[in-house]
Structure formats: structure tokens, C-alpha cells
Structure 1
């Protein structure tokens, strides 16, 4: 089952696949060395697919509107995601990303829907943000300590 905010998605032939990339840069150059530099953990991507019967055209229309929805700043809407696999990957918020596909299957009278969801505010982002905040706070405290010491020595 997949739920974005309070909207539950169809479960007929439902499939969901989570993945993420561990980016690295090869430092070996033209040699046979295997050294690499870690470039970070990229956001979780969720590939979703399911079938919508032709008789449920409104369901398809509503999902398309969700995929295209923008907030007051003109950015894609960020959705709360509820799915045991996505949540196990640490994914709590997502946006629609990449291709949204929906060909007609006239033989079965369904629309095979597929799309990608991209993690928003990933665990790695939260850790980096926290580290930057701590560094900023620590350097700010250091400045205050130096300033206090200098001020105490002034007549």
C-alpha cells in the first residue's frame, strides 16, 4: 500500500521499488589503483506502478493532478509518504520526479500507471544540515569567547 498525505493509491498489480546511489569518484586515474572518494548518499528514489481500470478515470485524473501540483512558491508539492518499504529506507517526504507514464491497455481495459518519487529532506541532508549548524554555532561561540576575553582586557 502507498499513501501520499491522506490519499491511498490503487493496489491492483501494485509494485514499489526503492533504490539510492552511493556516489564516488575514481581517484585511480589511468592506473589500476582502486582508490575512490565518497561523494555522498543520494536521495532515495521510489518507482511505483499499478493498474487503474478505465472505469476509474477520476482516480487517474486525481493522481495526475497530484503529480503536477505546485505550492504557493511554484515548487512541486512535497508529500508525506506512508509505505513500509519507503519508510524502512528512511523516506518520510517525497516529490514526484522524472517520467510519469500511463499508456492505454485496451485489451485489459486498464491504464498501467508508473512514476518516480524522489526523497525530499533525506537522512543524509538532515545529518549534513545538523553538522553545519553545530559548526556554525561552535564557531560563533568561539568568537564570543575571544570577544569577551578581548573586552575584559580593555580599560
Structure 2
């Protein structure tokens, strides 16, 4: 089985595992299905910085983007999340499968600093698939950066 994400991860030379799982309805179910802690199931969120300009933010499953922190890091006053159709157009992937690996465009990557030194699970470009990768290696090959850009999920 292959996807553009799996092909890109292979081409990058980093070590990774492809994890196959059934349908899931939440981050908690996805973490359980993949056999990882919720904090290691990393959501790839597409953020619109300007018209036609996006970036990927890698967010641990137990956290959410801190908009004030992300705006301060990027030196901007306004950021937004594109709708599902725009995110697919920008990345080539549907929501729930988005990953920086094999994206239609190599948008900048910012990984929350809490992923540093961990093995994380990212989307693999197709429902029911995940990529388990060392975060440091993944962020390096994606020319990304680590930063404190999240906050705990509010109940």
C-alpha cells in the first residue's frame, strides 16, 4: 500500500512505520487504534497565513493551537483555518488524513515543542493509515521548526 505521504517519507530516508487501523471517531479512539498515547497522535493542521499562503502546525492530540503564541511567533495579527475544500486544494489531502509528507506544496512546518524527542504518529494521506516517525527526524527532513505554539485542550 502506498500514498504520496508514504512515498515522500520513503524518499526522505527517515525510518517510519505505516500503521493501519479501522474507522475512528475521536483523537482518543485514533490513539488507541494506533497503540500510542494521545499526546503522540499528532494532528497536522493547515493554517492560512495570507491569501494562497499556508503552513502546517503539528499539534499533539491532547493540545490545541494557541493562536496568540502562533501569531506572535509568525509576527502576524491574523491567522485562520481554511475550510475543508481549501485545505484539500492546498495540500492534496482530505481533513483527517493531512500530513506534511507528500503535500501538494511543501508548506512551512511548525511542530509544537512537546513533540521533540518523541516518536509520533501523523496522518499518512489516507483514512485508516498513520505514519509513526521520530519527530526530530521528521521535522528535520521537512525543514520545520519546533516552537511552543499550543495549549492544553479545554474540556
TM category (shorter chain) comes to: under 0.3
**Structure with a larger share of its residues in strand:** 1
Larger-gyration structure (1/2): 1
TM-score normalized by structure 1? 0.22
TM-score (norm 2): 0.22
Tell me: higher relative CO, structure 1 or 2? Use CA pairs within 8 A at least 6 residues apart. 2
